[in-house]
Amino acid sequence: MTKWVALLRGVNVGGIKVLMAPLRGLAEGLGWTDVQTYIASGNMVFSASGDCENLAVQLRSEMQTGLSADIPVFIVSATGLREILEQHPWEPEKGNQSHVYFCFGIPVIDEALYHDLRTPDEELRVIAGHVHFHAPAGIGRSKLAEKLGKVVPGCEMTGRNLNTVRKLVEMAEC
C-alpha cells in the first residue's frame, strides 16, 4: 500500500459542494485505508494499491455515482508531494503568499500575458509539470491570479497554498 494525496478541483467554491465525511466514505468503499480529509476544499490523504491515474479515475467515478458530482481529481504520492514542496522556489513569510497549481496536463506559460498582468513582486514558474506562484501581496486582488487560466492556457489545474501543501505532506508522512 502506498500513501497518496487526492486534490479535488473546485470543491466548495463556485457552487460545487462536497461534504468531507461522505467523500471519506466513498474512498473507504473503494477499499482505501487511513483516509483523512483536510479542510473542506477537497484534500484527502489515504493508503491504497494502484497508480495515481487509476486511483483518480476510481474516485471520480465514485463521486459521479455517489455524490452526483463530476469533479476532476489529481492524485500524487506522498513522496511526490514532498518533492513538489521541496522544489518550490520560495520560502515566504506566510504560507498563503505562495501557491502550487497541480496540473492535469502540460503547463505552458503565455509569457506576454504573464508580463502584462504581473506586478513587480509576483512570480510564476513551471517546475516539473506544476505551476508555482509567488504573490507576496496576496492573490485576492492579483490580476495574474484572476487570469491564471489564460496565462496557462489549455491546462486544467487545481491550486493549493503553501500552508495546505505543507500540512498535506505532514499528514501523508505520519
Q: For the domain bounded by 87-173, which CATH number is listed?
A: 3.30.70
2-80 falls under which CATH superfamily?
Answer: SP0830-like domains (3.30.70.1280)
Q: Report pLDDT for 12.
A: 78
Same fold flag, 2-80 and 87-173: yes
Q: The pTM is what?
A: 0.94
What is the reported pLDDT for 10? Answer: 87
Residues whose CB falls within 8 Å of the CB of residue 47, separated by 6 or more in sequence, listed in order: 1, 2, 3, 4, 32, 33, 34
Q: How confident is the model at residue 167 (pLDDT cuts 50, 70, 90)?
A: very high
Instruction: Say which DSSP state 97 is in.
Output: G
Domains of the chain, residue spans: 2-80, 87-173
Does pLDDT of 105 surpass 90? yes
pLDDT for 47-71, tens place per residue? Answer: 999 999 999 999 999 999 999 999 9
